[in-house]
């Protein structure tokens, strides 16, 4: 009975167009944000359960936030615009390595012109955002084939991006500033004089950025551009006949998606990993992001968070539950179980509920609205 | 002469390994032609078939079976596993998804990939298992023309031979048998085929079974070359660009695409590799496919697609 | 009030031919649509009616012939040009965006009228929000007009066929077109739905002065609604005139009764 919208009348279109038109949802969101922004840091500061150690922050919440952001980016391209991508990992890598180059200063000698392009080291924030923009540029480049080819063919084009950049960051020493090991280290995370170092600070930084970008992404998908993307996804021919230019719609989707994924990649490298190799952004990462999107819900910003949470929690549960029951599984068996669970869940959801957990949640809410009556 | 001899050697080696890509690509084409499904799981099926075969062989040989009997029984066992897989996929994934768009079907095969990989490794183990069905030593040919001759791997020749037999067999199957003809009808329009009484579920099972058996054949050659191991699935992924280059619906295209990719990447690696850091093989096929897509989206041998509203 | 019928030609199709492989869908078809009229295109199945509409809004490119729209002559239309020039279209088999709500479908029809770009839309603040609201207002007018208020937020995939057709008409109207092409707007509808749809078509023509070209099989509807009728058969125009003229044309009667040629 608590979850009712009866009596909540909307008198303006602005109210009707709100992200959460129902008051109870807004309250729930406020509580969630309160916990995330205030509760978690407080508990973690004083090491109160479940934040006795930094494990929850470091190993769960930090990767959750960053991968959820990358999943939002993937979702814009795959879920909203219907362009399959198996190369999200590569765009995370582009964001990460571009940011790395920018933060350490770029120097490109142009021998034949007798001069050089030099960019002095930029600040961390500028590098991360510019890294995203560079990823967006590359995204547009790899999106161009999508104008001539569709769906499955595009999968191969994005695979090309994946494998090419895997190789480039591994074999072209310029990208790693000629580091002998091939692995590079993140700079000190200095934001306008504030040094982000402890897990709590890292968490808050990511939380802030991810919340902001999720909100902006939501604005885009519920605006005209989002409708253009979905129109292209649902029926590109009809979209064209109502005046949507496929060129513009698809390339903006590639650009926005790659920008978000690129920023997530830079955060993943700078804030979470600290030091990394191209392996961190392999095709496994791409598939993981795709799974988050399918499981969480194609075409849902909230679903991206749900999917990321699910994908990260399952292996932990596979680790914990059998151990609690006295039959601990080997790492290998856990990995195999993970494969089987994710794989079959994907098939199940595609058959039963293509909009993933996000739709299951909204169905649940509809039921709750009617409760205790069946209809 | 040394330069030419080396070039020929690289070219032949490349063409031969291209045959291996073609073997996997064939499985894709079969399924795509019959059901319009772009089957991401083909590589996983190669892994599954290889694991089933090699583990059965090891077990049978360890229990004192003569080698020939072990091979026959092992292949029969692996084929049975592929049949079961085909049935499960048809029954629980592709069947319920009938009439969904290509993207959904494609993503569902990514799900299938993960299930097969997880289950195969859980049941059969996840080490590298050597498989020795074919000779792996080399011939040196044309020794009087080129100093030192040209090295040709016997296994590659076997692979080419098997691919040839397989293509001929498939051609006969499609052209001459009742099931083959029904299959082509389903490929054209599965609703229409259904309405004239062709049992779609059965047909799709047959297609997935055929693809599974093709995967088994590929696994015997690949397993002998590399050992049966997880990384086979990544190599098998290269069948995707091979298909794009050859054209998705064409069996000759799959073969030609495989040869082009195999030869191209070896030549690029040998002649371009040293100057840009090596490892070109890793991405060459994909970038070539991308280039082909931009120029000729239907591939070299594919059919043009006409759209209607 | 009804838009004044003038003799001003809005669209002129001249000697258009179109073939697919060996099949000739249109053979030297010429006809015109006058500003403000309701024009019907009829003909037996496979006569080339839909192909004709596809040529007009640029989805098919004719092998030869010209299309003159608002005084500009072209060899072929591009879909985007047609849309920007004010040609809207509905489809024989509803071509809605299945994953979107009815409201979003119609809002998508406003795309060409949207002025604020990506960077404003990201912020969704100030001018961008005001613009979104303006479009919402216009779309709500259309929703009221088509009497589909109750299904605004329903994903169109879940709507019955008749309502989908209405939403599709709404999406076309949201473009504020000068020329509206309707491909069998009443196919598969029951009598009541047909009456509603006829009323909407006449109202659109009356209230907004929109020129309408429609393909329809229901003769009664065609005779009631349209001011002039073109008849196609096997890719050839066999008659053109007022409904009465066409009804009595020998060629038309033969085409429909299937007299051997």
What ipTM was assigned to the predicted interfaces of this complex? 0.90
| Cα–Cα distance measured from residue A227 to residue A232, given in angstroms and rounded to the nearest whole number | 9
Measured from the Cβ of residue B166, the count of other Cβ atoms closer than 10 Å reads: 19
Model confidence at C88: pLDDT above 60: yes
Same domain, C111 and C237: no
Q: Can you give the pLDDT at residue C3?
A: 46
Pick the more confident residue, A115 or B53.
B53
Q: B114 to chain A: which residues are within 8 Å by CB? A: 339-340, 342-343, 346
Model confidence at B15: pLDDT above 50: yes
Model confidence at A231: pLDDT above 90: yes
Q: Return the DSSP state at C86.
A: T
Domain boundary among the residues C176, C208, C231 is at C176
Q: Would C66 be classed as within a structural domain?
A: yes
Q: Return the DSSP state at B260.
A: H
- What CATH code is carried by the domain that includes residue C24? 3.40.50.300
Residue C54 forms contact with B (CB below 8 Å): yes
Percent of all residues in chain B with a pLDDT value above 90, rounded to a whole number: 28
Model confidence at A281: pLDDT above 90: yes
Q: Would C206 be classed as within a structural domain?
A: yes
Q: Can you give the pLDDT at residue A2?
A: 63
Of all helices (H) and strands (E), which one includes residue B138? strand B138-141
Q: Give the SS3 label for residue C91.
A: coil
Q: Which residues contact A333 (CB under 8 A, 6 or more apart)?
A: B122
Model confidence at A270: pLDDT above 60: yes
Model confidence at C182: pLDDT above 90: yes
pLDDT mean over C116-140: 91
Q: Which of C121, C130, C179 to mutate to test the interface with A (most CBs of A within 10 A)?
A: C121
Q: Would C19 be classed as within a structural domain?
A: yes
Q: Do C54 and B309 touch (CB under 8 A)?
A: yes
| Cα–Cα distance measured from residue A295 to residue B118, given in angstroms and rounded to the nearest whole number | 18
Same domain, C14 and C81: yes
Q: Which residues contact A350 (CB under 8 A, 6 or more apart)?
A: A294, B97, B100, B104, B107, B108, B111
| Residue C59 to chain B, least CA–CA distance (Å) | 9
pLDDT mean over B239-255: 83
pLDDT mean over A228-236: 93
Same domain, C169 and C184: no
Of all helices (H) and strands (E), which one includes residue B247? none
- N-term to C-term CA, chain C: 45
Q: Would C78 be classed as within a structural domain?
A: yes
| Residue C112 to chain A, least CA–CA distance (Å) | 6
Model confidence at B309: pLDDT above 50: no
pLDDT-derived band at B143, boundaries 50, 70, 90: low
Q: Can you give the pLDDT at residue B3?
A: 76
Of all helices (H) and strands (E), which one includes residue C206? helix C191-208
| Cα–Cα distance measured from residue B6 to residue C178, given in angstroms and rounded to the nearest whole number | 69
pLDDT mean over A211-224: 96
Q: Can you give the pLDDT at residue C1?
A: 39
Q: C59 to chain B: which residues are within 8 Å by CB? A: 309
Q: Which of C108, C114, C135 to mutate to test the interface with A (most CBs of A within 10 A)?
A: C108
Residue A237 forms contact with C (CB below 8 Å): yes
Q: Would C91 be classed as within a structural domain?
A: no
Q: What angle do CA A168, A173, A174 make, to 5 degrees?
A: 95
pLDDT tens for each residue of A33-64? 999 999 999 998 888 888 888 888 988 999 99
Model confidence at B187: pLDDT above 80: no
Q: Can you give the pLDDT at residue B149?
A: 66
Same domain, C167 and C189: no
| Cα–Cα distance measured from residue A91 to residue A99, given in angstroms and rounded to the nearest whole number | 12
Q: Do C54 and B306 touch (CB under 8 A)?
A: no
Q: Do A153 and B126 touch (CB under 8 A)?
A: no
SS percent in chain C: helix, strand, coil, step 5:
40, 25, 35
C92: closest chain B residue by CA: B309
pLDDT mean over C206-210: 91
Model confidence at C45: pLDDT above 90: no
A172: closest chain B residue by CA: B277
Q: Taking a C-beta distance cutoff of 8 angstroms, is the pair A347, B107 a contact?
A: no
Q: B99 to chain C: which residues are within 8 Å by CB? A: none
Q: Do C91 and B309 touch (CB under 8 A)?
A: yes
Q: Which of A242, A255, A358, A362 to mutate to test the interface with C (most CBs of C within 10 A)?
A: A242
Same domain, C81 and C184: yes
Of all helices (H) and strands (E), which one includes residue C96? none
Q: Do B309 and C95 touch (CB under 8 A)?
A: yes
pLDDT tens for each residue of A135-188? 999 999 988 888 877 767 788 889 899 999 999 999 888 999 998 888 999 999
Burial of A329 (0-12, 13-18, 19+ CB in 10 A): middle
Domain boundary among the residues C176, C198, C215 is at C176
Q: For B99-126, give the DSSP string.
A: T--HHHHHHHHHHHHHHHHHHHHHHH-S
Q: C20 to chain B: which residues are within 8 Å by CB? A: 306
Q: A222 to chain C: which residues are within 8 Å by CB? A: 124
Q: Taking a C-beta distance cutoff of 8 angstroms, is the pair C41, C232 a contact?
A: yes
Angle at which helix B200-226 crosses helix B67-89, to 10 degrees, equals 140
pLDDT mean across residues, chain C: 89
Q: For the ranges A128-142, B1-15, C37-51, which has the lowest average pLDDT?
A: B1-15
Burial of B79 (0-12, 13-18, 19+ CB in 10 A): middle
pLDDT mean across residues, chain A: 90
Q: Which residues contact A239 (CB under 8 A, 6 or more apart)?
A: A228, A231, A232, A246, A249, C97, C108
Q: Do C118 and A219 touch (CB under 8 A)?
A: no
Q: B309 to chain C: which residues are within 8 Å by CB? A: 50, 54, 59, 91-93, 95
pLDDT-derived band at B304, boundaries 50, 70, 90: low
Residue C171 forms contact with A (CB below 8 Å): yes
Q: C80 to chain A: which residues are within 8 Å by CB? A: 240, 243, 245
Q: Do B309 and C59 touch (CB under 8 A)?
A: yes
| Cα–Cα distance measured from residue B117 to residue B129, given in angstroms and rounded to the nearest whole number | 16
Pairing state of beta strands A106-110 and B150-153? unpaired
Same domain, C134 and C194: no
- List subunits contacting chain B, requiring 3 or more Cβ pairs under 8 Å: A, C
List beta partners, residue C51.
Answer: none
Q: Can you give the pLDDT at residue B26?
A: 85
| Cα–Cα distance measured from residue C131 to residue C139, given in angstroms and rounded to the nearest whole number | 12
Same domain, C236 and C214: yes
Number of domains chain C contains:
2
Least Cα distance to B241 among B28, B58, B92, B37 occurs for: B28
Q: What length is written for chain A?
A: 375
Same domain, C2 and C80: yes
Same domain, C161 and C200: no
Q: Taking a C-beta distance cutoff of 8 angstroms, is the pair C237, C43 a contact?
A: no
Same domain, C188 and C259: yes
Domain boundary among the residues C141, C176, C211 is at C176
Q: Return the DSSP state at B93.
A: I
| Cα–Cα distance measured from residue A305 to residue A303, given in angstroms and rounded to the nearest whole number | 5
pLDDT mean over C72-79: 89
Residue C98 forms contact with A (CB below 8 Å): yes
pLDDT mean over A86-105: 96
Q: Which of A148, A166, A333 sits opposite B122 (nearest CB)?
A: A333
Q: Which residues contact B228 (CB under 8 A, 6 or more apart)?
A: B47, B50, B51, B53, B54, B128, B129, B130, B131, B219, B222
Range of the domain at C239: 1-86+180-261
pLDDT-derived band at C135, boundaries 50, 70, 90: very high
Q: Can you give the pLDDT at residue A151?
A: 67
| Cα–Cα distance measured from residue C216 to residue A361, given in angstroms and rounded to the nearest whole number | 44
Q: Which residues contact A134 (CB under 8 A, 6 or more apart)?
A: A94, A95, A98, A262
Q: Can you give the pLDDT at residue C229?
A: 92
Q: Would C159 be classed as within a structural domain?
A: yes
Q: Which residues contact C117 (CB under 8 A, 6 or more apart)?
A: none
Q: State how far Cα C213 lies from the chain centre.
A: 6
Residue C91 forms contact with A (CB below 8 Å): yes
DSSP H helical segments within chain B, as ranges? Answer: 2-35, 42-62, 67-89, 102-124, 154-176, 178-188, 190-195, 200-226, 232-237, 239-246, 251-271, 273-276, 281-295
Model confidence at B254: pLDDT above 80: yes
Q: Would C92 be classed as within a structural domain?
A: no
Q: Do A346 and B297 touch (CB under 8 A)?
A: no
Q: Can you give the pLDDT at residue A327?
A: 85
Q: Would C104 be classed as within a structural domain?
A: yes
| CB environment A131-148: b (16+ within 10 A), e (fewer) | bbbbbbebbeebbebbee
Same domain, C145 and C33: no
Measured from the Cβ of residue B28, the count of other Cβ atoms closer than 10 Å reads: 26
Same domain, C41 and C147: no
């Amino acid at each position: 009975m608590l979850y009712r919208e009866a009596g909540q009348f909307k008198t303006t279109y602005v109210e009707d167009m709100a992200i959460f038109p129902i008051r109870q949802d807004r309250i729930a969101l406020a509580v969630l944000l309160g916990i995330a922004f205030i509760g978690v840091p407080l508990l973690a500061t004083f090491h109160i359960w479940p934040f006795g150690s930094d494990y929850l922050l470091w190993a769960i919440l930090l990767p959750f936030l960053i991968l959820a952001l990358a999943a939002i980016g993937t979702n814009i391209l795959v879920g909203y615009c219907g362009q399959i991508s198996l190369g999200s990992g590569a765009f995370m890598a582009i964001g990460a390595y571009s940011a790395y180059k920018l933060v350490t200063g770029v120097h490109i000698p142009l021998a034949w012109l007798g001069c050089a392009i030099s960019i002095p080291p930029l600040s961390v924030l500028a590098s991360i955002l510019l890294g995203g923009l560079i990823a967006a540029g590359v995204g547009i480049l790899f999106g161009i084939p999508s104008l001539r080819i569709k769906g499955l063919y595009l999968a191969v084009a994005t695979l090309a991006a994946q494998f090419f950049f895997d190789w480039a960051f591994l074999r072209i020493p310029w990208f790693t500033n000629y580091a002998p090991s091939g692995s590079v280290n993140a700079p000190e995370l200095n934001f306008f004089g504030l040094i982000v170092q402890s897990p709590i600070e890292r968490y808050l930084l990511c939380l802030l950025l991810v919340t902001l970008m999720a909100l902006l992404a939501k604005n885009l998908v519920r605006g005209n551009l989002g409708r253009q993307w979905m129109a292209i996804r649902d029926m590109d021919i009809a979209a064209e006949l109502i005046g949507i230019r496929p060129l513009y719609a698809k390339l903006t989707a590639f650009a926005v998606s790659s920008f978000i994924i690129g920023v997530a990649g830079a955060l993943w490298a700078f804030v979470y990993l600290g030091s990394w190799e191209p392996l961190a952004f392999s095709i496994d990462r791409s598939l993981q992001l795709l799974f988050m999107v399918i499981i969480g819900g194609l075409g849902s910003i909230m679903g991206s968070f749900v999917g990321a949470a699910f994908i990260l929690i399952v292996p932990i549960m596979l680790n914990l539950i059998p151990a609690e029951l006295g039959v601990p599984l080997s790492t290998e068996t856990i990995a195999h179980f993970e494969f089987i669970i994710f794989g079959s869940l994907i098939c199940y959801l595609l058959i039963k509920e293509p909009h993933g957990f996000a739709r299951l949640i909204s169905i649940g809410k509809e039921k709750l609205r009617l409760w205790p009556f069946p209809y | 002469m040394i330069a030419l001899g080396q070039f020929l050697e690289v070219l032949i080696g490349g063409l031969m390994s291209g045959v291996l890509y073609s073997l996997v690509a064939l499985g894709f084409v079969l399924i795509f032609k019959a059901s319009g499904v772009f089957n991401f799981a083909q590589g996983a099926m190669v892994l599954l078939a290889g694991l089933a075969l090699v583990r059965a062989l090891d077990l049978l040989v360890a229990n004192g079976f003569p080698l020939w009997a072990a091979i026959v029984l092992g292949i029969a066992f692996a084929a049975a596993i592929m049949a079961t897989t085909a049935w499960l996929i048809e029954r629980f994934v592709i069947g319920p998804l009938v009439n969904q768009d290509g993207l959904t079907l494609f993503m569902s095969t990514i799900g299938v990939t993960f299930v097969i990989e997880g289950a195969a490794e859980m049941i059969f183990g996840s080490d590298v298992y050597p498989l020795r069905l074919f000779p792996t030593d080399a011939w040196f040919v044309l020794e009087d023309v080129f100093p030192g001759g040209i090295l040709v791997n016997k296994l590659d020749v076997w692979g080419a031979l098997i691919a040839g037999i397989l293509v001929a067999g498939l051609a006969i199957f499609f052209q001459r048998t009742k099931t083959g003809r029904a299959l082509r009808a389903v490929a054209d329009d599965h609703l229409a085929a259904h309405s004239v009484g062709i049992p779609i579920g059965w047909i799709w099972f047959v297609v997935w079974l055929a693809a599974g058996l093709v995967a088994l054949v590929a696994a015997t050659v690949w397993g002998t070359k590399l050992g049966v191991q997880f990384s086979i699935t990544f190599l098998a992924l290269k069948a995707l660009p091979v298909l794009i280059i050859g054209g998705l619906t064409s069996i000759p295209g799959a073969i030609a695409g495989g040869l082009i990719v195999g030869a191209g990447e070896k030549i690029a690696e040998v002649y371009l590799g040293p100057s840009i850091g090596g490892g070109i093989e890793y991405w060459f096929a994909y970038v070539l496919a991308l280039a082909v897509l931009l120029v000729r989206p239907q591939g070299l041998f594919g059919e043009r697609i006409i759209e209607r509203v | 009030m009804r838009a004044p019928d003038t003799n001003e030609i809005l669209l002129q199709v001249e000697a258009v031919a179109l073939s697919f492989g060996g099949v000739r869908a249109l053979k030297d078809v010429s006809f015109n649509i006058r500003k403000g009229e309701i024009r019907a295109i009829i003909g037996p199945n496979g006569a080339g009616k839909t192909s004709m509409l596809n040529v007009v809004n640029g989805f098919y490119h004719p092998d030869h012939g010209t299309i003159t729209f608002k005084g500009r002559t072209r060899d072929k239309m591009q879909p985007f040009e047609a849309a920007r020039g004010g040609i809207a279209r509905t489809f024989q088999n509803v071509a809605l965006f299945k994953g979107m709500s009815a409201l979003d479908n119609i809002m998508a029809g406003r795309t060409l009228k949207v002025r604020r770009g990506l960077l404003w839309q990201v912020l969704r603040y100030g001018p961008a929000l005001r613009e979104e609201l303006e479009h919402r207002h216009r779309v709500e007018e259309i929703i009221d007009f088509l009497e589909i208020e109750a299904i605004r937020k329903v994903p169109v995939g879940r709507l019955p066929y008749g309502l989908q057709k209405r939403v599709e008409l709404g999406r076309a109207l949201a473009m504020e077109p000068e020329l509206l092409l309707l491909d069998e707007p009443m196919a598969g509808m029951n009598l009541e739905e047909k009456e509603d749809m006829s009323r909407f078509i006449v109202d659109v023509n009356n209230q907004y002065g929109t020129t309408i070209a429609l393909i329809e099989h229901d003769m009664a509807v065609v005779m009631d609604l349209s001011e002039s009728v073109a008849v196609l058969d096997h890719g050839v125009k066999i008659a053109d005139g007022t409904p009465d003229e066409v009804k009595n044309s020998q060629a038309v009667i033969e085409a429909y009764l299937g007299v051997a040629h």
